[in-house]
Amino acid sequence: MAGPRPLPRWFGLRVRLFLGLLAAGLLAAGMRLVDLQVVRGSELNRLSREEHLADLRVPARRGHIYDRHNKPLAISVDVPSIYANPSVVKDARTAAHALAPVLALEVESVYQRLASDKLFVWLKRQVTPDVAEAVQALALAGIGTTKESRRFYPSREVAAHVVGFAGVDGHGLDGIEREFDNALYGEPQVVMTVRDGRGRAVLGSAVDREARALGADVILTIDAQIEHAARDALRRGVVAAGAKAGSVVVLHVPTGEVLALANMPDFNPNQAAAVAADARRNRAVTDMFEPGSTLKPLVIAAAIEARALSPDGSVFCENGAFDVGGHTIRDGKPYAWMGLTAILAHSSNIGAAKVGLELGAPRLHAALKSYGLGERSGIALPGETAGIVREPKAWSKMELATISFGHGVAVSALQLANAYRVLAAGGRYDPPALVRGISFADGHIETPAPPAGARVLSKATAEHVSRMLESVVSAEGTGSLAAVPGFRVAGKTGTAEKVDLVAGGYSRDRTMAMFAGYLPAQAPVVVITVVVDEPRAAHLGGAVAAPIFAEIAEASMRLLGVVPSAPVVPSAPVTVSPAPVTSP
């Protein structure tokens, strides 16, 4: 029997070739696995996650704004918003007809959004819960609701011009909301969401979601109770005078902090979008006006400080008519000699002009600048005006004279209040402060460093002028209606004709009525400035602005717990020498 036939030679070659190819394939596969799992493992894992997961930036909850006593002035609340995924909507036209009446929108407007080729569109943001429930009841494919933060202002009009307001996207548009938007808005939180089969992020599918990030809170110097009292008094005064507008600023003398800042007309920031821009204007900061006679005490203080005049000096008031460079300055009544106290008590333009001429343009200009006039204070509010104080080389002799009684320069209500604080604070200038601190989510609080101040008057000069200003509020002074029972008040009335931009020159029937002052005069706690724009029932500062001052001053003393003292007669005598009477 024959043995097995030997395999053909070619068969062995094929086997070896097959085994070689198999080994090569296994080696290649192994190398590929090493490459995928070891060399490129982390990268491929990232790509895989990116294919199925998406990072979304979720805005932080906007920080709150509080007054000095932690009363909330602006908070964030969650409200529903309506959105659509147009790619899932089955019949855009039918859905639009169903949604439009519920959302109070035009059918065509809703249809255009539903017919979009986008994967996400807002239909209406920040709606009421009832509207959201009505939308959900429709059970329309591709239509959903989600929660968004909406700004709410519980005090409504109170401090509205200070706080400002935020827009629907959560960013501040005015006031503190705008100036501190970065801190309030906070850092958006990045969260991971699952993608659907088409690679789109699915709302509500966030994984590993942590607590929502928080923006910082801002604590203001504002006292909401004093702000409320100031607003109410200003509103009544503006209405009673038939005026166009008005502003009030209340400063805390020891610290320079703003306790109240109010304007009329005002607005409800919960409905800011529906309010005219004129009502939203922060007039106390953005608007400037000629200060009129309220500038006289500051000029007299500068003259005393420079020793151009002594506190008990007198000025000849030209019997009521004073010629300067071919122009005539007149007083309401003719006077011969007047002491500085009388010049303020009776608001003599001639007396103030002569004080300014004696002081000279360079020194008066330097003094006005030292009071913070003609410069922005740096307060944390948008749109602050610098006012107008021109360089002294441009002043004529007549301009020097008129600037001395408040014409030819322009200030804001805030600037005027802070200039009077120099007198009340014993001669020291400090920029006004509006923010007490910024409180971050991690618990630490940043306190803004106070801007550098400076002494601009000696304490003796400031006290001399304060005693003079008490005479203005006496029964014989122009500011008698600013008196507050039980308190010594120092202040000055002012009335300035407005510039007629059409006809040129000054208008006879359009004026600014003002009162600026502080109390208690012997140890001042608050400075209050009242400005009323175009009063009709009366036009003098003593008749229009002084009563508003008195009402706010009384409320401020009560709310701050300042105890009344017995009335004290001003120590500075009112020295007046009337002009001689001549026969016709």
Enumerate residues 6+ apart whose C-beta is below 8 A from 284. Answer: 161, 247, 248, 249, 261, 262, 263, 412, 413, 414, 531
**403 found inside a domain:** yes
pLDDT of residue 126: 81
* Per-residue confidence (pLDDT) for residue 107, from 0 to 100: 86
As separate numbers, helices (DSSP H) first and strands (DSSP E) second, the chain gives 19, 23
Same-domain check for residues 165 and 234? no
Question: pLDDT > 90: what percent of the chain?
Answer: 59
Which one of 220, 240, 274 terminates a domain? 220
Query: Do 109 and 255 have their domain in common?
Result: no
Return the percentage of the chain with pLDDT > 70, whole number: 82
What CA–CA distance (Å, rounded) separates 277 from 35?
Answer: 65
pLDDT of residue 581: 38
Residue 79 domain-assigned (yes or no): yes
Residues 334 and 408 in one domain: yes
Q: Which of 165, 186, 220 is the last residue of a domain?
A: 220
Average pLDDT estimate for 12-21: 65
335 and 241 fall within a common domain: yes
Decide which of 280 and 187 is more confident.
Answer: 280
Is the pLDDT score of 189 beyond 90? no
> Are 188 and 252 in the same domain?
no
Nearest-angstrom CA–CA distance, 143 and 206: 19
Across 335-354, average pLDDT: 95
Q: Please tell me whether residues 551 and 410 are part of one structural domain.
A: yes
Looking at the predicted structure, is the pLDDT value of residue 207 above 70? no
Range of the domain at 199: 56-93+101-220
Q: Is residue 554 in some structural domain?
A: yes
Q: Is 293 a catalytic residue?
A: yes
CATH number at 149 reads 3.90.1310.10
34 within domain boundaries: no
d(CA 23, CA 25): 5
- Whether residues 369 and 411 fall in one domain: yes
In this predicted model, what pLDDT tens digit does every residue of 449-507 receive, in sequence order? 878 889 999 999 999 999 999 999 999 899 999 999 999 999 999 999 888 777 777 88
Residue 448 counted as domain residue: no
Q: Comparing C-alpha atoms, which of 564, 498, 501 is closest to residue 535?
A: 498
Residue 573 confidence (pLDDT): 46
**Cross-strand bridge partners of residue 499:** 506
Q: In whole angstroms, what is the distance from residue 53 CA to residue 48 CA?
A: 8
Domain boundary among 185, 220, 255: 220
Which residues, 6+ apart, have CB-to-CB distance to 567 below 8 Å?
485, 486, 488
The predicted pLDDT at position 108 comes to 87
**Is 60 exceeded by the pLDDT of residue 305?**
yes
Residues 169 and 84 in one domain: yes
* Domain match, 235 and 136 both: no
What's this model's pTM, rounded to 2 decimal places? Answer: 0.81
331 and 253 inside one domain: yes
Instruction: Give domain status of residue 5, yes or no.
Output: no
Q: Which pLDDT belongs to residue 478?
A: 93
Q: Which of 293, 314, 466, 471 is catalytic?
A: 293
Confidence of residue 209 (pLDDT cuts 50, 70, 90): very low
CA 141 to each of CA 117, 232, 555: distance values in angstroms, whole numbers, following the listed order: 16, 52, 59
CATH of the domain at 301: 3.40.710.10
Residue-wise pLDDT for 345-395, tens only, equals 999 999 999 999 999 999 999 999 999 999 999 999 999 999 999 999 989
Domain match, 288 and 409 both: yes
Q: Is residue 33 domain-resident?
A: no
- Asked whether residue 211 falls in the same domain as residue 315, the answer is no
In the three-class reduction of DSSP (H, G, I as helix; E, B as strand; rest coil), residue 507 is classed as: strand
Specify the number of domains making up the chain: 2
DSSP 276: -
Residues 6+ apart with CB under 8 A from 36: 44
Q: Is 302 helix (H, G, I), strand (E, B) or coil?
A: helix
